[in-house]
Structure 1
Amino acid sequence: MKLRYVIAMITVFCIVAACKNEPIPKPKAEIRLEYPQGALATLETENFKFQYNELSKPEANKNKAYTLAYPEMNGAIFISYKKVENNIDKLIMDARRLSYEHAAKADNIVEQPYVNPEAGVYGALFEVQGNAASQSQFFVTDSVSHFLTGSVYFYTKPNYDSILPAAAYLQNDIRRIMETLRWKE
């Protein structure tokens, strides 16, 4: 009887030990953020007009400033307009200085010139890489009468890896603004 008991215990032990699954680590996953491509709408003021992403909510602020809010991304593109009054060098220098103020936190700042002689639009887009407060800055001008600046801000502590998809999406919207901008006389 003892032998039977010992054999039964060994059999139960072997069955239990054989059925035990080894834990398998799950592969690392990364979140994939995709944003829909919105239709285009036109923002028109007394000095300029451009096309913007209809998924944003435009708001007019005081002193000829505008906000294109993106609630789904918790961010916005801030745009401000100034008249050129024999101060084009100062306006351009201030726009560049504002962009390069982020250099302390940025890993890199890529300046991309923009020239559209047919529309009389000249400027630059600054792509700020790293944990800076603003991921993109831009300015455009006709060099005679009009000057427009803009910047992207997110309403959160900057973490470049996390906001990179949203920052790239808003940079494309900025490019569209620059490409479709037309001055009014």
Structure 2
Amino acid sequence: MNKLLISSLFCVIYCFFACNSPYTPKPTGYFKIDFPEKKYQLFQAPGYPYSFEYPVYATITKDSSFFGETTENPWWINIDFPQFSGRIYVSYKQIGAKNNFDTLIKHAFTLTGKHTSKAYSIDDSLVLNPYNVEGIFFRVGGNVATANQFFLTDSTRHFLRGALYFDATPNEDSLNIVNQFLIEDVKHLINSFTWRKQL
């Protein structure tokens, strides 16, 4: 009887101390993402004043409206990444009396600068690709709607602007791995970009 009582008492004491171990919270984690293999195809649609290479896991659609308004010309497109709920909005403008070159440059910087309230950094770097296409690439740090933006131009006739957006609440930590993956595709687009004669 004594042995049974001692054993029971020991079990109760053991359970009491075992249940009071300090709580260790589970660290925040994100879903594992399986990235596709990098492979590119050529966008060279008839009549478009530009061409470039884009990933096989992306689709291109013509953008016919801008905030409910008709686009300025028929050469605006969206490059969609359905697997990542991402999209590169591409707008094109012809430099001329209506679209002054200096105004287009200023506007590109202004659009990027709109993120200053949530950004902790905005880095810009000059672009010059093998086809002598020039421009600027913007990398915006922080919980912003678009962390990667760019514009490309020949400074006399053509001006193209692109911005990568995600259909998600801006969160730099959770989007970082996808941003790093797609930034390679944005840079490939820029490095393969050429101006074409309109057909």
| Shorter-chain TM-score tier | 0.7 to 0.9
Aligned to 2:36: 36
For normalisation by structure 1, the TM-score amounts to 0.86
Write out per-residue CA displacement over residues 49-101 of structure 1, whole angstroms, 9 at most, x where no aligned residue: 00001111111122321111112211211111111226221111111111111
- 2:88 alignment counterpart: 77
Find runs of 4+ consecutive structure 1 residues off by over 4 angstroms.
15-24
**How many equivalent residue pairs?**
180
Q: CA–CA distance in 2 between the matches of 1:112 and 1:167?
A: 17
1:134 & 1:27 partners in 2: Cα distance? 30
C-alpha distance after superposition, 1:93-137 (max 9, x if no partner): 111111111111111111111113x51200011111111121111
What's the offset of the Cα at 1:179?
Answer: 0.2
* TM-score, structure 2 normalization: 0.80
Displacement after TM superposition at 1:15 (Å): 5.1
1:39-54 mapped onto 2 (5 Å cutoff): 39-45=39-45, 46-54=48-56
Pairing partner for 2:4 from 5, 8, 19: 8
* Alpha-carbon spacing, 1:27–1:139, altered in 2? closer, same or farther (3 Å): same
1:29 Cα deviation after fit:
5.9
Within a 5 Å distance, the mapping from 1:1-185 to structure 2 comes to 5-14=1-10, 17=13, 25=24, 28=27, 30-31=29-30, 32-45=32-45, 46-62=48-64, 63=73, 64-85=75-96, 87-116=100-129, 118-185=130-197
Structure 1 partner of 2:68: none
CA distance in 2, matches of 1:57, 1:123: 24
- Looking at structure 2, the residues matched to 15 and 134 of structure 1 have their Cα atoms a distance apart, in angstroms, of 59
Deviation at 1:145, TM superposition (A): 1.5
CA RMSD of aligned residues (A): 2.2
Q: Which has the larger radius of gyration?
A: 1
- Which SS does the other structure have where 2:125 is aligned? strand
Separation in structure 2 between the aligned mates of residue 177 and residue 43 of structure 1, nearest angstrom: 10
Q: Distance in 2 between matches of 1:99 and 1:15?
A: 66
1:182 positional shift: 0.9
- CA distance, structure 2, for counterparts of residue 21 and residue 33 of structure 1: 38
Report the secondary structure of 1:123's partner residue.
Answer: strand
Structure 1 unaligned spans of 5+: none
Q: 1:175 to 1:27 in 2, by over 3 A?
A: same
Q: Specify whether residues 166 and 142 from structure 1 end up closer, same or farther in structure 2 by C-alpha distance, changes over 3 A only.
A: same
Q: Deviations over 1:114-163 (max 9, x none)?
A: 113x5120001111111112111100011121111000111122111111
Distance in 1 between the 2:140 and 2:35 partners? 21
- The letter for the 2-side match of 1:74 is S
For 2:14 and 2:107, the matched residues in 1 are separated by 73
